[in-house]
Structure 1
């Protein structure tokens, strides 16, 4: 990547924010342009600095992440926003996506997933946290959030549909191969093509897509 990603962090927990900032500031392709301790400070800060991506907590004093996201995207339509969430904030994650966020991460995400989220969102993809629960996937599907906006319907073979269902049920490539009598390598090839067709990057994205397009039913995930 030739150009640095200008990134701003907003979180009212100083220790978490400083730790995240330190990790990100060590990345060659990321330029940390600022930190904010609440939503209002975040909005004000973006009047004085330019950012490509904002990573913001959902619950903050003075102004929460959802309200800040709505205001920011009105003022800066090209800005990309990633929500930072705790485990019990599924309703707020959905609100953030509806407000225009491009993705979300649980706060216990590891370094590799955080960097992957930044890279994917910067490239204009939606990022679903790997730890997305079946309940949250279902809530996203039922919400006003529609990342796909397909112009044409995507077709899957019967074999791909079978593999999609098993991916959604959290089976590994090895386990899928044993169930449907294919080699692990063949299953991995199918999985790669499925992700490309859906334009998603991980299993969470497959689950959301499959639910939204009736490739699997919610009760089959439980």
Structure 2
């Protein structure tokens, strides 16, 4: 028998949230709680549950989460997975942005109820197996599962990487400009473009991604 999956549901639209909650329960999954906005989420997750395995949310809710929220959640629940429900026709660029931000996997919201439950359960279990074995996830894809495409990944120039590295060392834009012999305005433009391309609301998110994906070597910072 499969181990129970403890799920917290995060969907802004009431009718959709209730429908997904009912679908999960009918599929034999345990829904601990559901939320329509981010404000009570972090504090309740910190103190109310002994175990949370999966956050299931829509794309709109995921967009409201800051990098600090995600770091806090992963600190509390190290094995936590985040599944984002996405619409039909989503572009590969948008898919990559969601993975860059921290989504574990994505599911198509237009799947049939049976396909949705099978995809959710199968992918979650394979992610957990890969985590414990310290292996990359390379499952056969269930219905409606989206994957990261490295050919569509966001590349950085040497100048952009250097700006991220100096930001890690706590240099501000004016100091970086002086070190690189460029204007402060140019540094600020680089930083804004990097945040836009990574889909981040602040530069902390950019730095976290760069370290996590070995764009920056921690020993060189």
TM-score w.r.t. the length of structure 2 is 0.52
The question of whether the paired residues in 2 share the 8 Å contact of 1:10 and 1:17 is answered with: yes
The question of whether the paired residues in 1 share the 8 Å contact of 2:8 and 2:52 is answered with: yes
SS at match of 2:32: strand
Q: Which runs of 5+ in 2 are unaligned?
A: 128-136, 155-221
1:46 paired to 2:45: yes
1:143 paired to 2:153: yes
1:25 paired to 2:25: yes
CA RMSD of aligned residues (A): 3.2
Alpha carbons of structure 1 residues 2 and 99: separation in structure 2 relative to 1, 3 Å: same
Residue in 1 aligned with 2:59? Answer: 58
TM-score w.r.t. the length of structure 1 is 0.51
Separation in 2 of the partners of 1:39 and 1:89?
A: 24
The question of whether the paired residues in 1 share the 8 Å contact of 2:107 and 2:120 is answered with: no
- Alignment of structure 1 residues 27-106 onto 2, 5 Å: 27-28=27-28, 30-47=29-46, 48-49=48-49, 50-60=51-61, 63-64=64-65, 68-87=69-88, 89-90=90-91, 91-106=93-108
Residue in 2 aligned with 1:188? Answer: none
Separation in 1 of the partners of 2:62 and 2:120?
A: 25
Separation in 1 of the partners of 2:142 and 2:70?
A: 19
Separation in 2 of the partners of 1:71 and 1:89?
A: 28
Report the CA distance between 1:138 and its aligned residue.
Answer: 7.8
Q: Which runs of 5+ in 1 are unaligned?
A: 145-222
Separation in 2 of the partners of 1:38 and 1:17?
A: 12
SS at match of 1:124: helix
Deviations 1:31-63 (A, max 9, x none): 110101123433333222231111111213992
SS at match of 2:88: coil
Report the CA distance between 1:65 and its aligned residue.
Answer: 8.1
Instruction: Say how many residue pairs are matched.
Output: 140
SS at match of 2:126: coil
Bigger shift: 6-15 or 64-73? 64-73
